[in-house]
Amino acid sequence: MNVFPWLLFACVLAGAVPLLGLASACRDASPPSDATPAPAPAPAAGSQEPRIGAGRLRIEGTHFVKPDGTAFQWRGITAFRLVDLVADQQEDEAATYLTWAASRGLTIVRVLTMSGGLFDLRPEDGRRALPRMLELAATRGLRVEVVALADTLAVPVNLQEHVDAIGRIVTAHPNAVLEVANEPVHPSQSAEVHKADVLGALADRLAREIPIALGSIERGDGFGAGSYITWHAPRESGRGGWGHVLALAQGADLVARWKKPVVSDEPIGAGASFQPGRRDDAPARFRAAALLTRLAGLGATFHYEGGLHARVPAGRELECFDAWNEAWTLLPPEVERLGGFRAGGTPESVVAAFDRKGISGIYERSDAATGWILVLGDAAAGLTLKTGWTVRETRRIDGGRLLSVTRSPA
């Protein structure tokens, strides 16, 4: 592993850092796609103290913060069926998945508490199984984004009764945060769930200390009324398959506008083959997507076909995950808090000019002294930095390059 990002970030931490709002083949350095990770230690039988600690995440400005005051990195994954596995007395499968997730450095899993499409999970069974699933996650150091409402058109449910009960469970388990509805305006949801004011009223009945998102914001500003925001980024397949990657830059505008945490919760998913507008199978694009998500100041969730059923990634999906997961070694741990996000070539950016024919997208996060620049497109295409800025190191990645830059003292 290249150590320069960590050394540079240590220098950044020594100075004043202002706080602002806002996936071809894997590199040779990537873990082998068929590698089996060493399992994380299972908790001792009868253990009463979860590894996650006793405290709950809180929100400070545009970021999540852990109980000890340090930044929480939202490094998440789709695992919709985990609660259903527990409900179906397949707890060992759920535990195996969670152990794998913890071993890969993930910090949070996203689960459903009811479903009538992907699998059959009645609301009452979801409520019964959720506490145990949260305990399994906590003992492995994982947090859980609990989704209360899904498939409400097909599955009979009393909205208030279900959300109230899920809220009480989340309140009792500090490793949980809550999203009231998955894609509220999706055709699989009932007409009432389409209404932001209905979801807002349901959320208002719950404990104030719970971080709550109403549901993904792309279908209406009213869904931004929670304490944090979830966003399902455009799944564009144009620009040679890179459209969905470039679209992630829009998330920085949401952070700046809403001044609260924004999570890219269900971007285009990884799959065994390319399906325009639904699945991508290029590890290079998933690596770039995670890098751009972090630079834009967003929480990142890896979405993939197997995650719908909480299956550990394998084959092409694992290659895409491994590439996506590199973003936490290629960039510093708290890069989301460094300075601000900009597109290259704008008045306040470090990049003064660039080859617009060879470079399809260029994005940066920088403060007055240091920065990181993601260049997508021809790796040989030229760019010019503003006076006083120099490239400290260049890291070539499939589909572009990643630069660390510094500014000379005046």
What is the percentage of the chain residues whose pLDDT exceeds 90? 85
- pLDDT for 35 beyond 60: no
pLDDT in tens, 362-381: 999 999 999 999 999 998 99
353: left (phi over 0), alpha (psi -120 to 50) or beta: beta
Burial grade of 27 (CB within 10 A; 0-12, 13-18, 19 or more): middle
Range of lowest pLDDT (23-27, 79-83, 88-92, 367-371): 23-27
CATH 3.20.20.140 fits 16-35+52-337, yes or no: no
The reported pLDDT for the residue numbered 24 is: 34
| Mean pLDDT computed over 305-312 | 98
Q: Is 78 helix (H, G, I), strand (E, B) or coil?
A: strand
The reported pLDDT for the residue numbered 21 is: 32
pLDDT in tens, 116-147: 999 999 999 999 999 999 999 999 999 999 99
- Angle, CA 174 vertex, CA 170 and CA 175 arms, to 5°: 95
The reported pLDDT for the residue numbered 52 is: 60
What is the percentage of the chain residues whose pLDDT exceeds 70? 87
Higher per-residue confidence, 319 vs 23: 319
CB-side neighbour CA atoms (13 Å) of 33? 17
Q: Is 379 helix (H, G, I), strand (E, B) or coil?
A: coil
Smallest CA-to-CA distance from 350 within 295, 381, 387, 376 is with 387
pLDDT in tens, 242-290: 999 999 999 999 999 999 999 999 999 999 999 999 999 999 999 999 9
Write out the E strands in 39-189.
58-60, 63-65, 75-78, 108-112, 143-149, 176-181
- pLDDT for 38 beyond 70: no
- pLDDT for 10 beyond 80: no
Smallest CA-to-CA distance from 410 within 394, 374, 386 is with 386
Sequential DSSP letters for 315-354: HHHHHHHHHHHTHHHHS-TTGGGSSEEEETTSTTSSEEEE
Q: What is the pTM of this model?
A: 0.87
Q: Are 25 and 283 in contact (CB under 8 A)?
A: yes
DSSP 309: G
Q: How far apart are CA 109 and CA 332, in angstroms?
A: 22
- Amino acid identity, position 187: P
Instruction: Provide CATH 3.20.20.80 ranges for the chain.
Output: 16-35+52-337
What are residue 394's phi and psi, to 5 degrees?
-115, 130
The reported pLDDT for the residue numbered 137 is: 98
